[in-house]
Amino acid sequence: AVIAAVSRFAIKDVILAAHWSQYRPESERFRAGLASAVESLGQAGARVWILEDTPDLPFNPSRMAKRRFVPDGALAPFTFSRDEYDRQRAVFRGMVARLGEAAPFRLLDPAPIYCDAVACRAVRGGRLVFRDVHHVNRSGSLLMAPVLAAAFAAESAPFGRPSVVTGSDRRELAGVRSR
C-alpha cells in the first residue's frame, strides 16, 4: 500500500527511520527486506533516505533533568562517549554498506548534530534534546530540520550509489559525499 501511494501521489522523497538496532540489522533477512523496500520505493519514483539512529543514551535525560540542575538554572550536561555511539551503530553501518548499488539510497547521519568527536550530548544550546533514551524531543527534531532541508535540496547529486549526508557543516550539505 505504501509503495502504491508513493507512485500514485508522486511522492518525491521517502525517509526510512527506525530504531534500527531493535530490528537485528545483522541478519540477512533484515538486510534483504530493507533492500527490497528501498528498491521498490525507488522504482515507484521516490528518492530514498535512510535516517541512522540517534544515540541510545545510557540514561533517561527527561527523568534526570527533573533532578539535576546547576545553580544558574541551566541543565547539567548529560553526555556519553562518542566511541560508544559509534559501537552502537557499527552493525547497522555494516549492513547498510552491503545494500550496495542494487538499492540506491542516501544515508542521513545525525551524529554531528548530537555528538562531537568525544561525546554525545543530551543537551544542546542549553536545551534538552532527547525525550528518552532513544527519541529526540521537539528541540532535537528542530536541530535536524536544516540537515533534511539541505539534503532534499541536493537534487543534482545522483542516487546511483549509497552516500552519506551529515550535519557537520550545514553550509556544505548540498555537496553530498559519496562512499
What's the pLDDT tens digit per position in 120-175?
888 888 788 998 888 999 999 999 888 788 877 775 455 544 455 554 433 333 33
The torsion angle over the Cα atoms of residues 65, 68, 71 and 74, rounded to 10 degrees, is -20
SS (H, E, C) the chain: CHHHHHHHCCCCEEEEECCHHHHCCCCHHHHHHHHHHHHHHHHCCCEEEEECCCCCCCCCHHHHHHHCECCCCCECCCEEEHHHHHHHHHHHHHHHHHHHHHCCCEEEECHHHHECCCEEECEECCEECECCCCCECHHHHHHHHHHHHHHHHCCCCCCCCCEEEECCCHHHCCCCEEC
pTM above 0.85, yes or no: no
CA 99 from chain centre, in angstroms, equals: 17
Residues 6+ apart with CB under 8 A from 66: none
List 47's β-bridge partners, or say none. 13
pLDDT of residue 66: 66
Residue 59: closest CA among 126, 118, 131, 127 = 131
pLDDT of residue 125: 81
How many whole angstroms separate alpha carbon 57 and alpha carbon 91?
17
Cell for 171?
553550509
pLDDT of residue 74: 53
pLDDT of residue 1: 81
Q: What is the percent of the chain with per-residue pLDDT over 90, rounded to a whole number?
A: 27
The letter for the amino acid at 123 is V
Place of cell 524531543: 137
Does 51 score more than 70 pLDDT? yes
Does 47 score more than 50 pLDDT? yes
Q: What does the pLDDT look like over 89-130, one tens digit per residue?
A: 898 888 888 886 667 888 888 888 889 999 888 888 878 899
